[in-house]
Structure 1
Amino acid sequence: MGRKSLVWLHVVSSTGWMVMALVLFVVVDHSLSTPGGRAVFEVATLLDVQVLQFMATTSAFSGLMLSGLTPWGYFRHWWVLAKFAITFSQLYVGIFVLSPNLHQDGSPLLMRVGSLLMASALACQVWLSVAKPFKRTPWAAPRKPATAPPWGFAACLAVPALDYALGQNLLGTPLPAVSALVAAGYPIVRAVRRPGRVPSRT
């Protein structure tokens, strides 16, 4: 049940990320087409900072932890690596390129194209998750890593909520500090952990 709950969180947050990217496109397009659209840009910024970024970091965190806590692993399958590459590219572009341009003097082309590309990239990730194309990578060990115990998945469910609560209380905006620490620290724990039994299924 713990694994399914984390999958649920990943699906919900990824869907929310894609929906908010489309909403951002509609809001930005409307504000650029409407005289005096400063108030609309304020709405776009609010949605970006308070909702989209939280959905994005939660999606990335839950995806990383699903890879680490299950036999899928981080480097065993090309489709997983492809999702990692797309996710981190989206996070970089969204945080450092698109978000700073969400104002009246920002690049209209960048705002429109950036939000649409973000939604399209998420749709591509959905296809990768469903189709699971390509073969295993050359780094895939013959023996599958064991699936983590249910409490490991359950603990991951609390991390985004903790991030949201801490960020809102300290900075007034969600801050993925705990998610970053857990996502970066768990691979180290996984690497030194004693290999478990081979699970019967992935």
Structure 2
Amino acid sequence: MRRRSPDARKTLLTLHLVTSLGWLGADLVLLTLGVAGLRGADPEVVYPAAALLATWLFAPLSVLVWLVGVTSALLTPWGLLRYRWVLVKLVLTTAMVGLVLFLLTPNLRAAAAPDATAHERVDVVVAPAVSTALLVSMTVISTWKPWGRTRRGVAVRRTAAVTTAGRG
């Protein structure tokens, strides 16, 4: 793998941070709307606003976060499958994007309907609360970088060491 310049790596990291923070912010707005709705705010305002936010910001942003994260992993020394912490983040983010696109967004649209049930409207609190917890957990994982290399990462490292030793 060709090394990227420090500017390119910083640009990718900045883009990853900005999109991830945007996802967290949208999550917190959805959570706020959900709590407001359960506490008696006008359902004709709260739930359509949540559905609009999910459709036009949250869902596209979640896909963008996934794309930027995968690109960052592929174009930096961390790699996509070399470290367990990157793999855990990939699996969690992929699952979250799937849930946002195929479960949360349709459920929020259903919660915006005038005849929506209380059960449908609870999703506007539960889903963003779980998502926020997962995003914070992934931030901790990114900061602490626990766990070692994957088997693939160990094999790539050994291959690189043998190749480097053979050049000397």
TM-score, normalised via structure 2 length: 0.79
The answer for the alignment partner of 1:142 in structure 2 is: 157
Aligned partners of 1:59 and 1:45: how far apart in 2?
A: 20
2:145 counterpart of 1:132:
yes
Aligned partner of 1:137: which letter?
T
Listed one character per residue, the Cα deviations across residues 82-108 of structure 1 (whole Å, up to 9, x for unaligned) are: 001110111111111111111241523
1:109 paired residue among 114, 118, 122: 122
* Contiguous gaps of at least 5 residues in structure 1: 146-196, 198-202
Would you identify which runs of 4 or more consecutive aligned residues in structure 1 move more than 3 Å?
Answer: none
The answer for the alignment partner of 1:10 in structure 2 is: 16
Aligned pairs, how many? 146
2:94 counterpart of 1:88:
yes
User: Cα RMSD between the aligned structures?
Assistant: 1.9
1:47 paired residue among 53, 61, 68: 53
For the pair shown, which has the larger CA radius of gyration, 1 or 2? Answer: 2
Structure with the largest fraction of helix: 2
Question: How far did residue 110 of structure 1 move?
Answer: 2.7
Aligned partner of 1:48: which letter?
A
The answer for the alignment partner of 1:37 in structure 2 is: 43
Question: How far did residue 143 of structure 1 move?
Answer: 5.5
TM-score, normalised via structure 1 length: 0.67
* Contiguous gaps of at least 5 residues in structure 2: 1-6
Aligned partners of 1:57 and 1:66: how far apart in 2?
A: 14
Listed one character per residue, the Cα deviations across residues 1-51 of structure 1 (whole Å, up to 9, x for unaligned) are: 122111101001101101111110111221233264122211111111222
